[in-house]
Amino acid sequence: MLVVEALSTPEASFRVKQANTDAEQLMNPVDGPLIGATLDQLPTPFNSAELHGQLKQVFSKGVSTQCTLLRPLVDSMLVFDCRLLKADSHLLVLSVVASEPEDMDSLEQVLEAMPAGLALFRAVRNDKQEIIDFQAVLCNQSGARLSRQSRQDILTKPISQRYADMKAYELFHQYVSIVTTGEPLHQRLYLPNQDIWLDISVVKYGDGVLVSFQDITQGQKTTALLESVMNSSPAAVRYYESIRDEAGQLIDFMTSTGNELAAYLPFRATQSTFGTRLLDLYPYLKENGLFERYVAVVESGQSDHFETSRTLEDRVVWFDCMAVRHGNGFVLTSLDITARKEAQLAQQRQGNLLQTVLDNSLTGIARLKTRQNPVGQIVDFTLEQVNATLAKTLGKSPDAVAGKLLSELMPHQMTNGLFERYAEVVRTGEPQRFELSNPAATIWYDVSAVAIADGLIVTFMDITASKMAQLDLEEQADLIKGVLNSSTSSILVLEPMIEGNGQPMDFLITLANPATGRLFFPFLGHDFTQEKTRTYTLLTLFPEVKERALYAALMTIVNTGETIQSSIEYPELGLTYDYDLRPFRQGVLMITTDSTPLRVYQQQLEANNIALSRSNEYLQQFAYVASHDLQEPLRKIQSFGDMLLTQYAKALDATGQDILRRQQHAAQRMQSLVKDLLNYSRLSTEQLPFQPISLQWLIEEVISDLETTIQETGAIVRVDPLPIIKGNSTQLRQLLQNLMTNALKFSKPGQPPRVTVDSFLLTADRLPQPRLTPDQGQWVALRVSDEGIGFDTLYKERIFELFQRLHGRSQYTGTGIGLAVVKKVVENHRGQIMAQSQPGEGATFTIYLPMT
């Protein structure tokens, strides 16, 4: 057995970390010790691609697996049954059992079960015993599939007939050399006709060879593609693997896979950096802080994108860097941006001249420079120059603002749409002009953005005074429109149409909100739009209203100016409408509300109250039956059982006496259950008035009642001072009694119970389910803690349900109602309850009760 450590490199290699004596005998490398050796340094078959693939699969998926490996001997074969499992995020355990098949049939069964291709070739010799060809005598199904040949061809045709002349010649001489010298062969072979790559291992087996091979086509193509991409990239890409000390502290990185671009050769100590420590190559990384940044990337998992520079001879070279955690290290991408950086610095020098002009303007002006990511996306802007007017608006000096990122100085502009406008101006080259306000809409600007070579010019003109006057008018109009459109009531403004005698002959509808069409649809039988109502008069739209009391009420309001409120039922439509009529300007404001749902709800509420009263009556009847009719038969059963045990016990054998005792115990449990159910039902039906109650006095009485149990168990009970609250003393006594009984009952075997009762005060916003209303006042948290057997937090809600038990009756007595009673008392006092526990670590019940 050995422990294998996964090296998180792009190729996912593995090395031996620990091994027992048997493993060292089976697979000790020829060169060097087993500990620290990688897979390719191990002997056959432990250096095979098959085992490497199985290890990668277990490492990535975390699912244990099994595989079979073969090692040819002179006249037989060693079979290794391997089991692989993942121990943690970096370690895998490989257990190996070696055996030698008794016959060829068992060997063939092993071969068929293997995922790798296997074929056994026998040397074909002439009369002079010279090898002239090789003939397959055994081939598994995987071998036929991977080689893209039928199994029949492989077993009936020698290799000279199954391959082209050159390939047959090459394989023939390789096999002859292996049979002659005994030296194994391991190679990667490309078959152009099939367009596949095979990882092949060939070893001598008797007077022939055993060939094992595995399809690595996808890996070869992926590797080639990755190398091509990396070598064609203008950026240097390198993976660095973490090096830690014995305490787990990250102290350095080992340089691993990456591209070797000639353009970056002057910055490297050697032409190739593979296998070299990072700080040995670049010791200055400790001084400029970059090493700490790389450590932060690995430890936190957060990528880091930054620019850095390095002096090379007489010039400064700039790099755009991205560090991303990968496996047990990080990948660093570095792109030379010196040309772009030098252009930026040159423009910055020219900007000083422009700043003088900008500072003399009464309009706020800023020159923003585009910031892009490596793929050319605009991600931010730098405030290259700002004039004094804009700096004063920001409450800073121009020097303090210049050079800052827009996202740093004004982060709100990255999310309020302004950043996107700037980016669009840069991308399209089209100027934009628009209005902008601060989040509170107390300051308004006329903003203009014009693109320039490397960014844009933005000007801000304060238009607050004119804008606020405009907004006041718009706000009033929007407010009225919003009220009308969102109202569920119909709102109509009716203007009277006066006849020659001075009396209204009709009403012109000058305003109607959207709800009007919905409320009056049942009367018309067809839809009408809000705009269309303005073309109607009241009597044109509702001609029958003239004969109703509503029209008379409208006339009364026009003549008297009084307000009328009325509710009218329409039985034929199943509707009830409330009307509010009041004078408005020269006409009437009519508000119509559909009160039908409220009327239906009131009827349902009345029916529910009747049903609830009936249910409470049934519950009270059940409580009476439980307290009298159910308990009386139980008392008789117990009485007769006691008589049988005391007077007729000698007439019964041991079995009969045992049955009788069990009957008595069952009757006692039944009586306890009936009493507990009765108490629980009373909690729901008997709501007694609350009075000031001393919790200190109640707990002392409970401890006095439990004195016998406390003495028998040797319990240690500590009670801190408890406050006075308003509540029901009987119910709160039940609560404390049940919690104390449980704390004493569920103690650890062989240990005396230890129970602590204390409390603390808190406000409603600190409750487990906070209550923020101002009338909640002060609360008390009453805690009952023990050091008993505890319970799993999965059951912290279930334990408060009726008849829920976490242990059998043979372990702990009880009916499973005690904690349900506790919860009911808490609910009756409008409180909250929380249970905290872990198996073997005791339990704490916290009761939150209002002080008043």
With CA atoms as reference, report the closest residue to 81 among 90, 94, 63.
94
Residue linked to tokens 């790099």: 319
Provide the edge-to-edge strand list for the sheet that holds 575-584: 504-512, 490-498, 587-594, 575-584, 564-570
pLDDT digits (tens, 9 = 90+) for 679-694: 655 565 556 678 898 9
Burial class, 111, CB count within 10 angstroms (exposed 0-12 / middle 13-18 / buried 19+): buried
In whole angstroms, give the CA distance from residue 598 to residue 245.
75
In this prediction, residue 738 carries a pLDDT of 83
In this prediction, residue 782 carries a pLDDT of 93
What is the CB-side half-sphere exposure of residue 264 using CA atoms within 13 A?
22
Summarize the confidence of residues 629-642 as an average pLDDT: 71
H/E segment holding residue 356: helix 338-359
pLDDT digits (tens, 9 = 90+) for 82-91: 888 887 777 8
Q: Is 786 left (phi over 0), alpha (psi -120 to 50) or beta?
A: beta
With CA atoms as reference, report the closest residue to 758 among 738, 786, 783.
783
Residue 808 predicted with pLDDT over 50: no
Task: Give the rounded percent of residues in the chain with a pLDDT score beyond 70.
Answer: 82
Rg (CA), the chain: 45
Query: Quick one: tokens of 66?
Result: 């099994």
H/E segment holding residue 140: none
Residue 631 predicted with pLDDT over 70: no
Summarize the confidence of residues 602-631 as an average pLDDT: 67
In this prediction, residue 803 carries a pLDDT of 46
Query: Quick one: tokens of 62?
Result: 């975390």
> Judging by DSSP bridges, how do beta strands 754-763 and 832-837 pair with one another?
unpaired
Query: Quick one: tokens of 612?
Result: 């609830």
Summarize the confidence of residues 317-326 as an average pLDDT: 91
Q: Which of 152-161, 162-171, 814-823 has the highest mean pLDDT?
A: 152-161
- pLDDT confidence of 259, banded at 50, 70, 90? confident
In whole angstroms, give the CA distance from residue 481 to residue 473.
13
pLDDT digits (tens, 9 = 90+) for 492-518: 888 998 877 778 888 888 888 888 778
In this prediction, residue 263 carries a pLDDT of 57
Task: Give the rounded percent of residues in the chain with a pLDDT score beyond 90.
Answer: 14
CA 710-716-718 angle, to 5 degrees, is: 115
Summarize the confidence of residues 129-133 as an average pLDDT: 90
Residue 430 predicted with pLDDT over 50: yes
Summarize the confidence of residues 106-135 as an average pLDDT: 82
Query: Quick one: tokens of 110?
Result: 């092993």
In this prediction, residue 225 carries a pLDDT of 65
Residue linked to tokens 């091979």: 213
At 739, the amino acid letter reads L
- pLDDT confidence of 371, banded at 50, 70, 90? very high
In this prediction, residue 675 carries a pLDDT of 65
Give this prediction's pTM.
Answer: 0.31
Residue 204 predicted with pLDDT over 50: yes
Count CB neighbours of 385 within 10 A: 23
Cβ contact 213:197 at 8 Å: no
Summarize the confidence of residues 331-346 as an average pLDDT: 86
- pLDDT confidence of 627, banded at 50, 70, 90? low
Cβ contact 818:738 at 8 Å: yes
Count CB neighbours of 540 within 10 A: 12
> Judging by DSSP bridges, how do beta strands 378-386 and 364-372 pair with one another?
antiparallel
How many residues appear in the chain?
852
In whole angstroms, give the CA distance from residue 727 to residue 764.
18
Cβ contact 69:80 at 8 Å: yes
Residue 377 predicted with pLDDT over 50: yes
In this prediction, residue 277 carries a pLDDT of 85
Indicate the Cα dihedral angle 515, 519, 520, 522, nearest 10°.
Answer: 140
Selected residue with higher pLDDT from 206 and 845: 845
Residue 542 predicted with pLDDT over 60: yes
In this prediction, residue 381 carries a pLDDT of 93
Summarize the confidence of residues 103-109 as an average pLDDT: 59
Residue-range domains of the chain with CATH: 2-112 (3.30.450), 117-216 (3.30.450.20), 233-336 (3.30.450.20), 340-467 (3.30.450.20), 487-594 (3.30.450.20), 600-667 (no CATH), 688-850 (3.30.565.10)
